[in-house]
Every structure is written in structure tokens, then in C-alpha cells.
Amino acid sequence: MKPQSMGQAVLIGLALIYLASLYFMSSPVWMGFTINALIVAVVALAWNITGGFGGMASFGHAAMYGTGAYASAILQVQYGINPWIAFGAGIVAGAAMGAFIGALAFRYGLKGSYFALVTLAFAEVLRICASSFAITGGGSGLQLRLEPGLSTLQFNDRSVVYTILLVIVALVMALTAWLKYSRFGAYLIAVRENEDAARALGIDTYRIKVKAMAISGAFAGLAGVLYLQVWLFIDSAVVYGSAISIEALIGPIIGGAGTVWGPLIGTLGLHLLGEGAKHLLHNAPGLNFVLYAVVLICALRFLPQGLMGLAARIGTFRKKEDDNA
Amino acid sequence: MTYTLNRRGLLKASGAAALVSGLAMPSILRAQGQTVKIGVLEPLTGNLAYNGTQCAAGAKFAADAINAAGGIKSMGGAQIELVVVDAQSRPEIAASAVDTLAEAGVVAFTGASASALGLASSQAAAKYDLAQVFSIGTAETIVERGLPNVFRFTPGVNKCTSVALENLKQLNAAAGNPVKTAAIVHEDGPFGSNMAKIMAEQLPQQGIEVVETISHPTPHRDFNNIALRVKASGANMLIPSNYLNEYTLMARALRQQRAELMAIYSILGGAASNIKFVRENNDVAQYVMDCNHWYDPSKPESQALAASVAQAGLDLTYDVMVSYATIQVIADALERGASTDRKAIIQTLAASTFDGSIMPYGPTKFVNGDNVNSQPVNTQIRGEEIELVFPEQYATAEPVFPIPREG
Amino acid sequence: MTSLILPAVLSGLTMGAIYALVALGLTLIYGVLHIINFAHGSLLMLALYAAYFLSFHGGLDPYLAIPILLPVFFCLGYVLQRWVIAPMSSGSEQNVLLVTLALSMIIDNLALYFWTSNTRSVDIPYAYNTVEFLGAYLPLGRVIAFLAALAAAPLLWLFMTRTRTGSAIRAVAIEKRGAEIVGIDVNHTYAVCFGIGAACVALAACLLLPTFYVTPQVGYTFVLVAFTTVVLGGMGSLPGALIAGLLLGVIESLCGLFLGESLGQIGIFTAFILILLFKPSGLLGRRAA
């Protein structure tokens, strides 16, 4: 988790200064959109486990994100279950969905674009199902009753919400760092680098990959539950739509896939860019997305290792091999 | 923590934001008194972009008309300045957009075309004591949450369906009850599903049997099967509730499959009240009836609006009308309250008895945020025009029911 | 309900022809460049607008727009691949995917900005004409699209197998290095292939417009089905795309009839998942992953 170059230290420092500065400037706009960015950052961190460390680029993290959100919402709305229990259940449901998709996809040896497409298809099937059945509220979606309090996990005060999200993001990042340097993380990276070689060395690659999907699914499910608790409303297009799947992968790729800080930095950077574009092109809805996309393309061209990769090359502290923070 | 910012706090906040972002917001620094800001929160991109853009246009026409007539007179002729923000057809973005509105210093805002967006935005606005006057927000949950800042000027889904059913009963009775069976085709979102449920319960009470109910997603590519099933069901009448694109495809498929219907009676139909549909599909559009939001065409402001819309080369849809009316409602509250204090505006809105809007409503009366004197009306497509046919006091043409057989 | 099965199958076949037409270009691009082109739906939208404006301003029937739009879109596709997608993605598969995604964002939002979100459809005299076949009424526009798809897939296949350019494309698809060594300009060949894919999209658009509408979001309506068609047919297989498109049209139509239209698309995606899991090489594909 420690920076390994001057550039990375500066980049991480800038992110931390920005996050801290929100406490001192009483701007609800910046806090509001950073709250959204932090929820997306959790999905981005989830994607990073499979896509970054494991090299399995999913195009359907919405499948796990939405399952987490729906599991928690169904328990609370339809069965009146305590929000804290529902919160945990959402994470478990996300993990289960991740493991299920992983088990199916890897059982049949899918990788590359096939894996991307099958995750996309799962998210779509779930989206259609969620908008068709009564238990998910059909097309109307599910809405939590507005009753702020610690017992309902709803907070009126935005800075409390923000603080909770910061703590959760930090926890997820700490877990990511721990995973990365654990035996499991080493196996996972080995699978990404050369799966056949990993298998030859006696690693049960199937189990490692399914486990990675389960952990990733747990994080994504957590993000879905966070969305539900912050906005109190979900419907199938919101949580199973492709927008969140795309956001889940763009952040890590721009920030630096397979790094601990990359997903957070990439997501924050892209959200700041999107917000900036909105202000620059205030009266032209849609053009802000054009600008956003142009910057995205340029980033892909000129930052092959993402922002963290670029920063790693500036003022390196140590030898080159180990340039991921 | 509440965010009731005074002007000084606002300046400080925006100054800090501008420092961090490097983006100045000069409009906020302009002196108050000459202008009063009203927010317009609509989905300008994404799936709902068409409705959102139409609503934003309607709000602009209203602001222009009010400004041209001397602005808010009780506030020294203050001019209305609209702050338009994009909800991107996503609830969390709609909620964040409320922050932008609050920071820009709006006194109230209108929105948000879809119930999901409106639910999110009004909840976010409650924290600022910022009033949201709903242009379109048919889901009843909007007014069932007890939020004091929620004002739904237009009728919700329950009222629209009950009025539509009552009107249908009268039309059918006047024609000697020729319609005995009905097929319901609805989109599977909240708007279509709710409607279908109420219709399926209520229609049998007026002697109309529902012989077929078909739901479809949005977007849907192929309506041939649906047309075939409607035809095979032998229904006399079709009750559709879906959006413009699907309605267009459905109407074509019905014609191609030679479905013989006595009536097409839609409720909050996306197309039957849309002049573009009438122009591009004139043959199949004839005699389609719709129970929907619509203005009172006899009012001078309505005629002026129709003229401005035509001049701007836009379509005169109900979105334009209701959004125009919500700005009128807010302007009236400002006129009476003569204050830009948010809480004061909520109070003046809650006490509103405004009856000068372009809508065919009685004096405004908000009960738990729902305007009890709002009502939908029946329109019917006749030739190149959309005529208002029901209720009689606003009608521009006599209703034709059932559809005359082609001879 | 049983009396509706035959008309539903026929209707599904004609809809499936459109899926096949959209998928032809996509499968060609995948088969050769090994990239998932997320901008495919946006190109379809662009072509629909082009055909619409030719009809609206130029009074040109959408079918007569085919000879104009095919070369225009070939050039567009060529330029996009050669000077945007290839240089910007630095060769990584993941990046290509993201570049095409970003491209689709650019195209869609520019369309929204310039042409607004209005739904547009062409007003043509034969809009309601139908063809009676086995007691079912089939919309004329759909029947034409069906016949065109039946003709287009074999023609494209012949082009790929019988011409010099086609052979070069196949050589690059199978063995990029080897093709380079024997003197084939790989970048040019890739761009040609992308251009042909875009031209296929233009063809699909001209055949679709008379029975459909166009909005800036219309591409999404078809893009996921097109992916499914490509996978089902076998990534890179042209006859496979045709058969898969028709099959998916029928599956969707029958699922819609029996499960309800809302769940009709479930049939498509379930087929998609099952194929990916059990036979990722698709119906007519040679090799997988």
C-alpha cells in the first residue's frame, strides 16, 4: 500500500488532500458527487481483484452489485429484516453471485472476451428478471422507508455518510493490499501471468479464480448495499444496468489495474473530470460525455499502466521490477 | 447538519469550490434582487432525454413569458433565471444535481419526468428545505413519504386512471355500450404496470371484460406478436400504456395484422398526445383517444405558448405544457410571498390557491403535497390535429366513439 | 395460442434477419481483429440517421440509399480503425474494447447534441404493406430485409473466400506474423475489414429504417442481441451469424409468446449463456478462446 516512487507519493497525497479538504469547505456539491464516486470506487476495487490481479476482465460487475443491493432491499422491504442483517446479507449475496458466475464460466474454461461477454449476459438476464418479478418490485423498483438512524443505517448528515464511505473504502483497500501480499494474491497474479505454468506448479487455478470472483462479488455486493443505504431506492436499470459495469472497469484501468490505489485514484479522477466537463460545457448536455470519452481515449493511449504506472516512473524509490504500489 | 446557507456562506462555499476546481461560477456572484433563480432538474441525456428536453423547453417558455410581462412584481420586477441541470436519467445523479441547484441559490425547482428521478431528487432537496414542484411524477409514493418540500401539481397515476375510467364509462354509455371486451398492452416499468393493475380491477365493474393483458419491455423491437395476440383475443378495445417509440411500432403492427378495433383508448399514452406521432403515422393515429395531462387550449397563455413552440420548431407535447405550468406555480408563490427564503416558499406553495395556470385545473390546493384539484383530460387525434374532447367545458371537438367503420 | 405459433415463427425469422445483418459486420471484425467492437451499435445509429436524412431532405427511399451509404460507411470504418482505434489502443485487447466504448460515447452524445433526442421515422408509402404467407401477414419491409440477409451473408462469404482481398483478410486473421512476412499490409487489411464491417452496418440500417425508428439511443436496442448472435454463430463465422440471427429471432418470438414479451429477451440471453458455457465456439465456429 506504500508508494514506491515520488510520483506515486504525490498522486496519493493529492487524492488524500482532496478527500480531506471536503471536510473544510462547506460545499455540498463536491461532497455529494464524491459520495457517488466513493461508492463507484468500491465497485472499482471489486473489479480490480479479478480484472487487475487475476487478469479476468469482467464486463458485468453489475450482476454482483445489483444482487447485493436487491438482496438487502428485498429483506428490508419485503420481509422487514433488520437493516444491519440485510447489509451483511447483501455482501454474502454478492459473493455468492460472483462465485456462481465464476464457477460456471471457469468450469468451461472461458477467458478473455468470452468471459467478458458471459458476465455481461448474466447482468442482462438479472436485469430483465429484476424488472419482471413481484418480489423485486418489478419495474417500480424497491424503495426503503425514509427513517434516518443508526439502527436503520440511514444518515441524514452528509458528512457522516461521507466519513462512513471513506472508512469502508479504506477497509476494502487494506483488504486488497493484504490479499495482494498473501499467498492467495501471489497465486492469483501467477494465474494472470501464465495460467498453464501456474497449474504445472500445482496451483489449483480453478479454485483460485472462483475464490477471486467470490471476494470481488462480496466487494461489489457491498457497493450495491451502500448505494441502497445512501439513496434508499433501486430499480433494475439503476443497479443491473451496464453503466455501473463500465464504471467498475474504467476507474481501475485509468488509475492502474492491479494496484491498491489505482481504482480509487482512477475513479476519483474520472469523476472530477466528468464534473469539470459538466461545468465547462454547462449548456450542452451530452457534450460533457464527449469530452470525457476523448480524455479516456487519450489516457488509454498515453498511460498504458494507468496513472499509478505513470507516477511510478517519476522519481522511483526502488528497483524497477517492483513498480506496483 | 443542515445546509441552510445564507448568502455569505454561499459565497464562501462557492469561492472555495472555485479555488479547488479552478472553475469560477460568476453567475452566483451577481447581485440578488434583479433576478430570482428557479431550478429545472430534468434528464437531458440517457433514456429519458426526449421528455426531459421537452420539459426544459417548457420551463424556458414560461420564464420568458413571465419575464416579458414584467417579472415578479412584488420583488421589484425581478426576472426569473432558470438553472437547468441534467439528471442523466439516473437517480443518484438526480440527487447530486440537487446539490448543484442548492449551491447555485435556486429558490425552488421543477422536475423530473420520471418517478425514480423525482423520488431521489425530492429526498435530497428535503435536506435543503428546497421545494420541488413536480412536472411529471405519476408514482403515488412521491406524495406518500410525508416530505414537506414535495408539491405535485399534476395528477398521479391513481387519479389519471380513475378519471380515464369514468370518462370511458360515459363515452361507452353514450354510444350504447358497444365495447364489451378490452386488451391491455403496457410497458413493464412502474408507469405501465401500475396502470394495468388498476385497469384490470376496475374495467369489469363497468361491464368490460379484460380478455388479454400483455406487458413488454422498453425498448421493444417487435410488436407483431403483440398485435397477433390482441387480434386473436377478439378484444373490442385496446388500452395501451407505453412510450412513443413502442407505441409507434405497435400502431403499425396492429394495422399490418389487420386488427379490427372499436377504440384505442390510452392512458398517459406516450404517443397519442404527441403531434409528431400524428404527423408521421397519420393513418394509424386517427381516432386514437388518450387520457393525459393537457393544457386548456382556450386560455391566451396557452395560445401564446403554442405559437412560441411552433416558432421554435419544437413539438407541442404535454411535457412542455406541464413544465410551463409548474414554473407559473412557482412564480405565483414568489409573487405572493415576495421572499426568496426557501422555507417561506414552501409555506406559500403549501397555501397556494393559484388558478391562473395554463392547465384545465381548479384552484390549486395541495393536500400532503398532492394538488387535489388537478385533472387529466381526454384528447383524440382527428386529421392532423390533437383535439381536446373531454370534459365538455374545455373541449375543442366532440368525441368520436367508437371508431367509425371505413366504408 | 397454438394458431399463433406459425405467424410468430415467421415474424421471428424476419426479425432475426435484422439481427443477422447487424451481426455480420460484428462477427467479421471479431473474427479478424479479435476485438469486441462496442461502437457497433453507435455506427448502426449513425447509419440510420444518414438514411433518415437522405430520405427526409433528399426524398431518397431508404433502399435506394444503400449504394450511397455502403461506400461512405466503408470509408468511415476504414478511417476509424486505421487512425483512431488501432493507434489509440496500443495493441492491448482490453484497450481496444475501451476505445470502442469511448467512441460509442462520443458518437452517441454528438448525435444527441446535434439531432436531439427526438424519435424520427421515415414516412414511406408502403409502410403498412404486408405480404401474405401461409396465412400470416408479414410486413413488407421485414420480408425485404429477410431476403437481403439471405443474399448478403453468402455474398460476403464468397468475397472472403474467392477474392484476393478476402484471402488477405483471412490470412491476417489466422496468422498475423506470417501474413506480415509474406508482404501483406496488416494495418491496411485490418482497416479494410473494419470498413467492410461498417458497410454491413449501413446495409442493415437501410433495411431496418422502413420498419423502425431512429433516436440517439437506438444502437443499444440491437447491440447486445448482435453480440449474442455473433457468439451463437461462432465468433468470426459469417454463415453462423446468419443462422444464429434467424434462430435468435425465432427463440425471442416464441419466448415472448409463451413467457410474455417482458421475459422474451430472457430467451436470448439464456441461449447466450448456455452457448458460451457449453459450446463457446458457437454453432459454426472453429475454435474458442
pLDDT digits (tens, 9 = 90+) for A191-222: 999 999 999 988 999 999 999 999 999 999 99
Q: Which chains touch C (3 or more CB pairs under 8 A)?
A: A, B
Take residue A53 and report the three cell numbers written for it: 490481479
Q: Do B20 and A143 make contact, defined as CB atoms within 8 angstroms?
A: no
C279 CB contacts (<8 Å, ≥6 apart)? none
Domain housing A180: 6-320
Q: Is residue A325 situated within a structural domain?
A: no
Query: What pLDDT band is residue A313 in, cutting at 50, 70 and 90?
Result: confident
Q: Do A124 and C224 make contact, defined as CB atoms within 8 angstroms?
A: yes
Q: Is B187 on the interface with A (CB under 8 A)?
A: yes
Q: Which amino acid is at C130?
A: T
Query: What pLDDT band is residue A226 in, cutting at 50, 70 and 90?
Result: very high
User: Would you say residue B16 has pLDDT above 60?
Assistant: no
Of C108, C112, C263, the CB nearest to A128: C263
Identify all chain C residues contacting A297, using CB atoms and an 8 Å cutoff.
84, 88, 99, 102-103
Packing angle of the helix pair B300-311, B318-337 (nearest 10 deg): 130
Of B217, B253, B255, the CB nearest to C265: B217
Integer Cα distance of A260 and A308 in angstroms: 10
Residues 90-149 of chain A with CB under 8 A from chain C are 104-105, 107-114, 116-118, 120-122, 124-125, 128-129, 131-132
Q: Is residue A179 situated within a structural domain?
A: yes
Q: Is residue A309 situated within a structural domain?
A: yes
pLDDT greater at residue C240 or residue A137: C240
pLDDT greater at residue A133 or residue A13: A13
- Min distance B74 CA to chain A CA atoms (Å): 30
Neighbours of C40 (CB within 10 A): 27
Integer Cα distance of B407 and B257 in angstroms: 19
Q: Is A148 on the interface with B (CB under 8 A)?
A: no
Residues 204-243 of chain B with CB under 8 A from chain A are 217
Residue A307 has a pLDDT of 87
Identify all chain A residues contacting B192, using CB atoms and an 8 Å cutoff.
139
Three-state SS at B187: strand
Q: Do C128 and B257 make contact, defined as CB atoms within 8 angstroms?
A: no
Of C123, C215, C262, the CB nearest to B217: C262
Of C93, C106, C231, the CB nearest to A293: C106
pTM of the model: 0.88
User: Would you say residue A320 has pLDDT above 70?
Assistant: no
Integer Cα distance of C228 and C251 in angstroms: 12
DSSP state of B133: E
Residues 72-101 of chain C with CB under 8 A from chain A are 84, 87-90, 92-95, 97-99, 101
Q: Do C112 and A116 make contact, defined as CB atoms within 8 angstroms?
A: no
Integer Cα distance of B364 and B136 in angstroms: 16
Nearest residue to C217 via CA among B52, B5, A197, A262: B52
Residue B79, H or E segment:
strand B79-86
Mean pLDDT of all residues belonging to chain B: 86
Beta-carbon-side half-sphere exposure of residue C84 (alpha carbons within 13 Å): 22
Identify all chain B residues contacting A269, using CB atoms and an 8 Å cutoff.
none
Q: Is residue A46 situated within a structural domain?
A: yes
Integer Cα distance of A222 and A218 in angstroms: 6
Of C118, C221, C260, the CB nearest to B50: C118
Integer Cα distance of C21 and C32 in angstroms: 18
Mean pLDDT of all residues belonging to chain A: 89
pLDDT greater at residue A82 or residue A131: A82
Identify all chain C residues contacting A107, using CB atoms and an 8 Å cutoff.
277
Report phi then psi at A54, rounded to 5.
-90, -10
Identify all chain C residues contacting A114, using CB atoms and an 8 Å cutoff.
231, 276, 280, 288-289
Q: Do B1 and A158 make contact, defined as CB atoms within 8 angstroms?
A: yes
User: Would you say residue B357 has pLDDT above 90?
Assistant: yes
Q: Is C270 on the interface with A (CB under 8 A)?
A: yes
Of C98, C227, C263, the CB nearest to A132: C263
Q: Do B119 and A143 make contact, defined as CB atoms within 8 angstroms?
A: yes
Q: Which of A223-227, B62-66, C122-126 has the lowest mean pLDDT?
A: C122-126
Integer Cα distance of C109 and A129 in angstroms: 29
| B107-121 average pLDDT score | 90
What spatial distance separates the first Cα and last Cα of chain A, rounded to whole Å? 6
Q: Do B99 and A285 make contact, defined as CB atoms within 8 angstroms?
A: no
Strand spans (E) along chain C: 130-133, 136-139
Of A107, A114, A293, the CB nearest to C289: A114
Mutate to test the interface with B, among A26, A245, A290, A291 (most CBs of B within 10 A): A26
Q: Is residue A155 situated within a structural domain?
A: yes
A116 CB contacts (<8 Å, ≥6 apart)? A57, A58, A59, A60, C36, C97
* C-beta of residue B241 within 8 angstroms of C-beta of residue B191: yes
DSSP state of B292: E
Q: Which residue of C has its CA nearest to A121?
A: C269
Residue B17 has a pLDDT of 37
Integer Cα distance of B118 and B190 in angstroms: 13
Query: What pLDDT band is residue A81 in, cutting at 50, 70 and 90?
Result: very high
- Min distance C236 CA to chain A CA atoms (Å): 13
Cis, peptide link before residue B402, omega less than 30° from 0: yes
Q: Which chains touch B (3 or more CB pairs under 8 A)?
A: A, C
The one-digit pLDDT tens for each residue of chain C (289 residues) are 678 899 999 999 999 999 999 999 999 998 888 888 889 999 999 999 999 999 999 999 999 999 999 999 999 999 999 999 988 877 677 778 889 989 999 999 999 989 988 888 888 888 888 898 888 899 999 999 999 999 999 999 999 989 999 999 989 988 888 888 888 899 999 999 999 999 999 999 999 999 999 999 899 888 888 988 988 888 888 999 999 999 999 999 998 888 888 777 788 888 888 887 788 778 776 543 3
Residue A318 has a pLDDT of 57
pLDDT in tens, A89-124: 999 999 999 999 999 999 888 888 888 888 988 998
Integer Cα distance of B348 and A325 in angstroms: 57
Number of domains in chain A: 1
pLDDT greater at residue A134 or residue B226: B226
Report phi then psi at A32, rounded to 5.
-60, -45
Max Cα-Cα span within chain B: 74
Residue B381 has a pLDDT of 92
Neighbours of A279 (CB within 10 A): 17
Nearest residue to B328 via CA among B146, B61, B83: B61
Q: What is the CATH number of the domain that holds A191?
A: 1.10.3470
Q: Is A300 on the interface with C (CB under 8 A)?
A: yes
Q: Do C11 and B188 make contact, defined as CB atoms within 8 angstroms?
A: no
Identify all chain C residues contacting A133, using CB atoms and an 8 Å cutoff.
none
Q: Which residue of C has its CA nearest to B222?
A: C15
C56 CB contacts (<8 Å, ≥6 apart)? C120, C122
SS3 per residue for C26-83: HHHHHHHHCCCCCCHHHHHHHHHHHHHHHHHHHCCCHHHHHHHHHHHHHHHHHHHHHH
DSSP B309-374: HHHTT----HHHHHHHHHHHHHHHHHHHH----HHHHHHHHHT-----SSSS--S--EETTEETT-
Number of H helices, E strands in chain C: 12, 2
Domains parsed from chain B with CATH numbers: 31-155+297-371 (3.40.50.2300), 158-292+377-394 (3.40.50.2300)
SS3 per residue for chain A: CCCCEHHHHHHHHHHHHHHHHCCCCCCHHHHHHHHHHHHHHHHHHHHHHHHHHCCCCCCCCHHHHHHHHHHHHHHHHHHCCCHHHHHHHHHHHHHHHHHHHHHHHHHCCCCHHHHHHHHHHHHHHHHHHHCCCCCCCHHHCEECCCCCECCCCECCCHHHHHHHHHHHHHHHHHHHHHHHHCHHHHHHHHHHHCHHHHHHCCCCHHHHHHHHHHHHHHHHHHHHHHHHHHHCEECHHHHHCHHHHHHHHHHHHHHCCCCCCHHHHHHHHHHHHHHHHHHHCCCCCCHHHHHHHHHHHHHHHHCCCHHHHHHHCCCECCCHHHCCC
Mutate to test the interface with C, among B211, B212, B221, B248 (most CBs of C within 10 A): B221
Q: Is residue A1 situated within a structural domain?
A: no
Residue A4 has a pLDDT of 76
Q: Do B120 and A233 make contact, defined as CB atoms within 8 angstroms?
A: yes
- Min distance A82 CA to chain B CA atoms (Å): 20
Of A108, A249, A285, the CB nearest to C277: A108
pLDDT in tens, A240-262: 998 899 899 989 988 998 999 99
Max Cα-Cα span within chain A: 59
| B319-329 average pLDDT score | 95
Beta-strand relationship, B377-382 and B289-292: antiparallel
Question: Which position has the grid cell 431532405?
Answer: C57
Nearest residue to B59 via CA among B104, B109, B123, B115: B109
Q: Is residue A181 situated within a structural domain?
A: yes
Residue B21 has a pLDDT of 37
| A165-194 average pLDDT score | 95
Three-state SS at B238: strand
- Min distance A155 CA to chain C CA atoms (Å): 35
Report phi then psi at B264, rounded to 5.
-120, 115
Q: Which residue of C has its CA nearest to B45?
A: C112
Q: Do C262 and A132 make contact, defined as CB atoms within 8 angstroms?
A: yes
Residue C240, H or E segment:
helix C238-259
Domains parsed from chain C with CATH numbers: 2-118+139-278 (1.10.3470)
Beta-strand relationship, B385-390 and B377-382: antiparallel
User: Would you say residue A238 has pLDDT above 80?
Assistant: yes
| B15-24 average pLDDT score | 36
Residue A268 has a pLDDT of 95
With pLDDT > 70 as the criterion, what percentage of chain B qualifies? 91
Take residue A64 and report the three cell numbers written for it: 454482483
Identify all chain B residues contacting C123, using CB atoms and an 8 Å cutoff.
280
Query: How far out from the chain centre does Cα A301 lie?
Result: 23
Neighbours of B174 (CB within 10 A): 10
Query: What pLDDT band is residue B366 in, cutting at 50, 70 and 90?
Result: very high
Of C8, C116, C118, the CB nearest to B225: C8
Q: Is residue A283 situated within a structural domain?
A: yes
User: From residue C269, how far is each of C77, C216, C231 by CA, in Å?
Assistant: 28, 24, 11
Q: Is C118 exposed, middle or buried (0-12, 13-18, 19+ CB in 10 A)?
A: middle
Q: Do A26 and B16 make contact, defined as CB atoms within 8 angstroms?
A: yes
Nearest residue to B222 via CA among C255, C269, C64, C149: C255
Report phi then psi at B239, rounded to 5.
-115, 100
Q: How large is the ipTM?
A: 0.87
pLDDT in tens, A151-162: 889 988 888 999
Q: Do B91 and A238 make contact, defined as CB atoms within 8 angstroms?
A: yes
Identify all chain A residues contacting C93, using CB atoms and an 8 Å cutoff.
112-113
Take residue B130 and report the three cell numbers written for it: 428546497
